[in-house]
Amino acid sequence: MAKRGKRYKAISELVDKTRLYEPEEAMSLTKETAKAKFDETIELHLKLGVDSRHADQQVRGAVVLPHGTGKTVRTLVFAKGDRAKEAEDAGSDFVGAEELVEKIQKENWFDYDVIIATPDMMGVIGRLGRVLGPKGLMPNPKAGTVTMDIAKAVQEAKAGKIEYRLDKTNIIHCPIGKASFGEEQLRENFEALVGAVIKAKPAAAKGTYIRSCTVASSMGPGIKVNSAKLG
């Protein structure tokens, strides 16, 4: 087991590990425990009462956080003709078609955070599944990144749209802001993400849906949130 440094031990003492905090308290405490020399990311971890091994219990989607993530998002759009022009006008960082597929294949190029594509380009992008899939970059209709409304998709990505997806341990991990955000901003982002996950509850899910809810800064301890009122 890894040894904890003095800084971590000191901030851990601020957290009562036996207690379930209300969201407002949790946001305040998370900011208080973010003591690193950089602007730490605040993350939300939701343990769900579903089984990711079953197709009818998958939980996946996307939501635009009211206050964004605090990160500058670089977009890559695969489109042609008028849709490519729309992407450029909307401010996409990179726009192209087959030539960008080749660039990714030959140069291992990943200078972007989100990939958006028109449906007709998915046949071309499919060749990149093995490299984009593990990085979570493959465009997906459920996340709104395979669409004909390219301008809207680019604008939402730039505004702080994030994708949430269940992992193999039935947990969703997502950023909800930065330590420099105000408590109200973090709380509103928290509520937006939790609300989206609750709305995406599969019909096949039985029993308690949100089993546990934890927030933490990049370098800070986990803070358990009272999930009883979340849904």
Q: Please check the confidence at residue 4 and state whether its pLDDT lies above 80.
A: no
- Between 8 and 30, the more confident residue is 30
Stretch 13-41: mean pLDDT: 93
Strand-pairing partners, residue 216, are 43
Across the chain, what does the average pLDDT equal?
Answer: 92
Picking from 51-55, 82-86, 112-116, which range would have the lowest pLDDT averaged per residue?
Answer: 51-55
Whether the per-residue pLDDT at 231 is higher than 70: the answer is no
For the chain, list the strands marked E by DSSP: 41-48, 60-64, 75-78, 94-96, 114-117, 161-165, 171-178, 210-217, 223-225
The amino acid present at 113, given as its one-letter code, is: D
Strand ranges in 65-132 using DSSP code E only, listed in sequence order: 75-78, 94-96, 114-117
Q: At what angle do helices 183-199 and 23-32 cross, to 10 degrees?
A: 130
Question: Residue 94: how many CA atoms within 13 Å on its side-chain side?
Answer: 22
Of the CA atoms within 13 Å of residue 150, those in its CB half-sphere come to 28
What pLDDT was estimated at residue 8? 76
- Is residue 27 pLDDT above 70, yes or no? yes
**Phi and psi based region of residue 70 (left: phi greater than 0; alpha: psi -120 to 50; beta: remaining):** left
| CB hemisphere CA count around 99 (13 angstroms) | 5
Residue 229's pLDDT band (cuts 50, 70, 90): confident
| Local confidence band at 10 (pLDDT 50, 70, 90 cut-offs) | confident
**Tens digits of residue pLDDT in 128-176:** 999 999 898 999 998 899 999 999 999 999 998 998 999 999 999 999 9
Contact of 3 with 212, CB cutoff 8 Å = no
> Is there a contact between 217 and 41 (Cβ–Cβ < 8 Å)?
yes
pLDDT value at residue 1: 45
Angle at 148 between CA 166 and CA 143, to 5 degrees: 10
- Whether the predicted pLDDT of 97 surpasses 90: yes
Handedness of CA 146, 42, 210, 198 (dihedral sign): negative
Is-contact 221 11, C-beta < 8 A?
Answer: yes
Judge whether residue 192 has pLDDT over 50: yes
CA 110 to CA 130: how far, in whole Å?
A: 14
| pLDDT tens for each residue of 46-79 | 999 999 999 999 998 999 999 999 999 999 999 9
pLDDT range class, residue 119, cuts 50, 70, 90:
very high
pLDDT of residue 31: 94
